[in-house]
Amino acid sequence: MIVGVVEDMPLELINPESLPSPPTYTHVVIAAGSRLVFVAGQEPEDAQGALVGPGDLAVQARQVFTNLGHALAAAGAGPGQVAKITIYVVDHRPEYLPVIEAARLGLFGEHKPADTLVGVAGLARPEYLIEVDAMAVIGD
């Protein structure tokens, strides 16, 4: 079952009928653009490199998705061109999902790229609770 084609973007979003239909992401994204954009893991830091939201997952999640938006814009891409994200969460627990999804929605709105959420023991700095990287596809 095709969920949709992103208008004017080289992405086809598919949720096969043989898999459960996820509310927040797409199982399969087919990208047909001519340029790939790889965004490094975005961390909960402001433009000066200062930690944002020490100990607060919600604040850190909003910051990493904000930073992801800035990184995409620098490459000439937008959130709707993201094909895949990976979310890394320290000591992940199910109750973190609504917090992460609220921050994600702030950047992506109704766009649902493929994603993977990985629970990790730690990130680059012990104060980081979340990090998100991305792959986007853009035209010429």
As its CATH architecture, domain 33-138 has: 2-Layer Sandwich (3.30)
Could you read off the pLDDT of 92-115 as tens digits, one per residue?
Answer: 999 999 999 999 999 999 999 999
* Cβ atoms of 40 and 133 closer than 8 Å: yes
> What pLDDT does residue 7 have?
53
Cβ proximity of 114 and 29 under 8 Å: yes
Per DSSP, the three-state class of 135 is: strand
Domain assignments of the chain as residue spans, ordered by start:
33-138
- Is the pTM higher than 0.95? The answer reads no
Task: Grade residue 90 by pLDDT with cuts at 50, 70 and 90.
Answer: very high
